[in-house]
Amino acid sequence: MNAIILTAIWGVLMMLGGAFIKSKATPKYLAIFGLAVIIAANCMQLNSSMPFFDIDVKNMLHFNSFNLMFINVAFGCTLLFFLLSGRDIEKVGENVSEYFALIFFILCGVALISTFNSLLMLFIGIEIVSIPLYILTGSDKRNLKSNEAALKYFLMGAFSTGIMLLGIAFLYGGSATGSFFIDNIIAGNGPMPPMIAAGLVLLLISMSFKVSAAPFHFWTPDVYDGAPTVFTSFMATIVKAAAFFAFVRLFENAFGSMQFQWQKLIVILIAATLLTGNLTAVFQQSVKRMLAYSSIAQAGFMLFSLFALNNLAKEGLILYAAAYSLASIGMFAILIKMKDYTIDGFNGLGKQQPLLAVTATIFLLSLTGIPLTAGFQSKFFMLMAAVQTGHHIWLVIFAVLCAAISAYYYFRVIQAMFFKEAASDEVVLAGDITPAFKILLVITATGIIVLGLFPHFLTNWLYF
Amino acid sequence: MNQNIWITFPELLIWFPLVAGLVAFIIRKEKAVKNWAILASLITLSISIVSLVYADNTKHLHLNNVSYFWLRYLGSNFTLGLDGMGHMLTALTAIAFPLIFIAGNKTNYKNTHVFYGLMLLTQSGLMGVFTAMDLLVFYFFWELAVIPAYFLCSRWGGEKRIQATFKFFVYTFTGSLLMLVGIIYLYMHTLPTANAEHSFSMHAVYSAILSPAEKNWIFWLFFIAFAIKMPVFPFHTWQPDTYEQAPTSTTMVLSGIMVKMGVFAVIRWIIPVFPDAVTKFDNIVIGLSVTGMIYASLIAIKQDDLKRFVAYSSIAHIGLMCAAIFTKTEIGLQGVMIQMFSHGINIIGMWIVVDLIEKQTGTRKISELGGIAHKAPALTIFLVVIALANIALPLTNAFVGEFMMFSGLFKFNIIYTAVAGLSIVLAAVYTLNMVQKVFYGEVNAVTETLHDISLNQKLVLAVLVVFVFLFGIYPQPLFDLTKDTVTAIITRIK
């Protein structure tokens, strides 16, 4: 509860404050301060389960350690994102405090969709997340690509929201008691009534759209590519992980008992997502676009948590959200500093900026899933969860083969950084590198390695 | 565990090279970092020698085994242990690195400190593979040993190094991931322990409950990973390219020690876990290995590039080891043990010679060389001894191992033995052919300027030659060291 209310309040304050604050740097510090306070407040709720605001939500929201832990991970990653890329947010346009305010609104939505217990809350949460995102995507007003991306995202997003609403309506009508509560939808595990089945499929489609699972992924590359890179970083990591979290919670709580009836659909989704994401990423020349496709590929792995729905899958999802967000935020933060976003633009970075190149290597190795990084542990948990179900082992083997393909495009960047020379003696970086930025990169990389060695630092929290 | 022991041998063998490698990264002076690498590897060697004194596990179990809690609730502990085979292979690793460093002392690499740092990290990873007694720990080190090697080959290798090394990486990474699925499946069928539902520990994995059908396909997931690493035909295609393109010091590590990871892993993680599947598929695997031996030998005869020549001859030798393991005979396994050590020594010797020739003449083409014997008699003597060891002449170390492996194969099937025996003849053909063309004959323009080797290099080659003869005449120490491992495996699968 703390997180939802405080983010909303802070978002409003920042938006109003934008009218009075003239300095460009102030909103960033305000945002960092606010978010740190909110995380602390959320931790207090996690530890004592006593929120500051004791509001009777009529069971429409559920707070438990799993949800709150996820909020912590998402907000913590956002804090890191502010610290690493805050200066680049300032460069996007004039209305700096509004960008931060919009991000706070998104975080409010993230907290809602992580804790919803009613389909209405899910819908409201998804909308609160989506609408500010449309604005952020188009925030680079003079850039045609940014405008195109925003329009595309808005149209597709509105369409998928419509599908979701239709699905919710079906479920409402189909449930025995006529209720929006997700745990009331299904009674028993018999064959699904047609209304429920229709609702389930519609929800599956709209959620797949939000997490960009194939074949509902077509918006992703264009939107991620067109949006200002700082916001791509935020969209591709925190927002995506949150959508996943909502996806898994919805299907576990609402339809968990009849999993065997819809598991086939998830199997198809996983196979399609892994295949399209990885194969298309191979052909990309722009690192930004490559990361967009790789985020689709990573979504394929995250879908395993929906396939397995066991304890390992839950731990794995939290771990995956953290590992993937850390590595991607770091990688995007470095990408923003580059002059040229193509893979060749990274040529010779290892020589000019060894520290940046080494941390980028750790991020890429983590995305590939090499041991000693958090990326390995998260993939490992997902695979364990899938194997534990005891069937569809072929899918697991298919997934690891796709992971082997992913090594190809991640390692191309590593090869460019270390083994190729820059075309001329020009500096490959566009932005200036502050010592604080370097320190933060090192901290992020260390975090990835610590999680890679001791994933239970994160997952153990689930059992308090 | 004994409380009085504050550190054990396996820990020392892993952590010391790791720390030394990290230290090497911050030494900027070229000369200093070279000396530091040699010093560090010599310290590792002395640790290994001391550990050999305490190799008897019936008396010194607490010195050779250690276990920490790691991912406790998953049932994976950081468990290390040295048995006979582990002692032998860690010793090989410990011996190889100082020799490689001393032999390569004259070579100058850009960013010397990074090069030597990565080399030492590779050593640490290799030590981890050979001492891991927990399947997940094993997987960690298995992958980690490859990463620094990847950077070494891609950064300092030949012209086509990036593609060649990446091929190597993708091959091994694919294999490892398949193995990871196998590991997880195996883990899900282990019995519960006090802390967790399942366990990754070696004993738990050995007694995992699986149906024969399940064992059959998991066997392949593991075997493909190891077959790529060894490499066994038809998974060998990365190997000649990588060996050719990698900087020679790294090639020595790859061919001398890293391929032993594959052989070692089959013995430790396949034979005891899937004995029935091994029996079921032994004909396929031995068939592939023998095919690979003949195939590689034939290609070696036609090779003009010295590096590729050694690479193919290595494939042939590894093929025999793989075949001998799958005979599941005591004598065959014992032979593999001996041969793992001998092959490591011999192939490093071969690479050193190849490197010396390339450094001085600037070419590796057999057709362009000739008459080196007139110019460099000492080098020639060393090379001939090592080359003869390579074709397993009696009195050399490889003879003992190959003889035993052939005996094992003979017990298994006489036809395979006959075909595989051809490879001995072929080995003699290609090796002697190479020696004749490169070292004898007329001195030509390329070899004109050649001069004999320096004291350093003589010393290194002399050490190798001592090993060649020592274990050729008196292989008993190697038998004694590895006997317990072999007996344990044979009693398990009987």
A393 touches B: beta carbon within 8 Å: yes
Q: pLDDT at position B198, please?
A: 87
* A36-50, A405-419, B25-39, range with the lowest pLDDT: A36-50
Spatial separation of the C-alpha atoms in residues B13 and B127, rounded to whole Å: 6
Q: pLDDT at position A36, please?
A: 92
Q: pLDDT at position B4, please?
A: 59
pLDDT band of residue A49 (cuts 50, 70, 90) is low
Q: Which residues of B touch A371 (CB under 8 A)?
A: 139-140, 143-144
Contact A407 B169 (CB under 8 A): yes
Contact B181 A397 (CB under 8 A): yes
Runs of H (alpha helix) within B190-266: 202-206, 212-229, 238-245, 248-253, 259-265
Contact A419 B169 (CB under 8 A): no
Q: What are phi and psi of A348, to 5 degrees?
A: 80, 5
Q: Which residues of A touch B167 (CB under 8 A)?
A: none
Q: pLDDT at position A51, please?
A: 67
Q: Which residues of B touch A372 (CB under 8 A)?
A: 140, 144
Q: Where are the domains of chain B?
A: 283-494
> What token pair was written down for B256?
């001398």
pLDDT band of residue A337 (cuts 50, 70, 90) is confident
Q: What Cα–Cα distance (Å) separates residue B83 from each residue in B62, B133, B144, B201, B488?
A: 12, 10, 22, 15, 10
Four-point Cα dihedral B311, B316, B322, B327, nearest 10 = -170
Q: Which residues of A touch B147 (CB under 8 A)?
A: 365, 370
User: What are the beta bridge partners of residue B134?
Assistant: B201
> Position A126: which residue type?
I
**Which residues lie closer than 8 Å to B388 by C-beta, 6 or more apart?**
B396, B431
CA-nearest residue to A408 within chain B is B170
**Which residues lie closer than 8 Å to A347 by C-beta, 6 or more apart?**
A416, A417, A420, A421, A422, A423, A428
The alpha-carbon gap from A142 to the nearest alpha carbon of chain B, in Å, equals 41
Spatial separation of the C-alpha atoms in residues B184 and B271, rounded to whole Å: 18
Q: What are phi and psi of A41, to 5 degrees?
A: -60, -40
Q: pLDDT at position B244, please?
A: 86
Instruction: Please give the ipTM for the structure prediction.
Output: 0.91
Spatial separation of the C-alpha atoms in residues A164 and A129, rounded to whole Å: 15
* A205-214, A454-463, B280-289, range with the lowest pLDDT: A454-463
User: What are the beta bridge partners of residue A118?
Assistant: A181
Q: For A217-241, how does the pLDDT look when each residue is reduced to its tens digit (9 = 90+)?
A: 889 999 999 999 999 999 999 999 9
A396 touches B: beta carbon within 8 Å: yes
Residue written as token pair 């907000």 = A75
The alpha-carbon gap from B145 to the nearest alpha carbon of chain A, in Å, equals 11
Q: pLDDT at position A450, please?
A: 92
Computed over every residue of chain A, the mean pLDDT equals: 88
Instruction: Check whether A192 has a pLDDT greater than 60.
Output: yes
Residue written as token pair 């290892």 = A350
SS3 category, B426? helix
Q: pLDDT at position B2, please?
A: 47
Q: Which residues of B touch A (CB under 8 A)?
A: 71-73, 139-140, 143-144, 147, 151, 154-155, 161-162, 166, 169-170, 173-174, 177-178, 180-181, 184-185, 187-188, 221
HSE value, Cβ hemisphere, 13 Å, CA-based, for B384: 12
Whether B464 contacts B332, CB under 8 Å? no
Contact B154 A365 (CB under 8 A): no
Q: Which residues of A touch B72 (CB under 8 A)?
A: 456
Spatial separation of the C-alpha atoms in residues B390 and B393, rounded to whole Å: 8
Q: What is the pLDDT along chain B (494 residues), one digit of tens a residue?
A: 445 567 888 888 999 999 999 998 888 888 888 889 999 999 999 999 988 888 887 777 778 888 888 887 888 888 888 888 899 999 999 999 999 888 887 777 888 888 999 999 999 999 999 999 999 999 999 988 999 999 988 888 778 888 888 888 999 999 999 999 999 999 988 888 877 788 888 888 888 888 888 889 899 999 999 999 888 888 888 888 888 888 888 889 988 899 899 999 999 999 888 888 888 898 999 999 999 999 999 999 888 888 888 899 889 899 999 999 999 888 999 999 999 999 999 999 888 888 888 888 888 888 888 888 888 888 888 888 888 888 888 888 888 888 999 999 998 888 989 988 888 889 889 888 888 888 887 887 777 777 777 788 888 889 899 989 998 889 888 888 888 888 888 888 87
> Position A119: which residue type?
L
Contact B181 A365 (CB under 8 A): no
Q: pLDDT at position A242, please?
A: 93
Spatial separation of the C-alpha atoms in residues B352 and B103, rounded to whole Å: 7
pLDDT band of residue A187 (cuts 50, 70, 90) is low
**What is the sign, positive or negative, of the torsion defined by CA atoms of B358, B362, B367, B368?**
negative
Contact A404 B185 (CB under 8 A): no
**Cβ density class A209-225: b for 16+ within 10 Å, e for less:** bbbbbbebbebbbbbbb
Q: pLDDT at position A188, please?
A: 62
Q: For A119-170, how does the pLDDT look when each residue is reduced to its tens digit (9 = 90+)?
A: 999 999 999 999 999 999 998 888 888 999 999 999 999 999 999 999 999 8
Percent of chain A having pLDDT more than 70?
97
Provide the number of CB pairs (under 8 Å) joining chain A to chain B. Answer: 66
Runs of H (alpha helix) within A142-286: 144-174, 194-210, 219-226, 229-234, 240-255, 259-282
Contact B166 A415 (CB under 8 A): yes
> What token pair was written down for B488?
């344990």
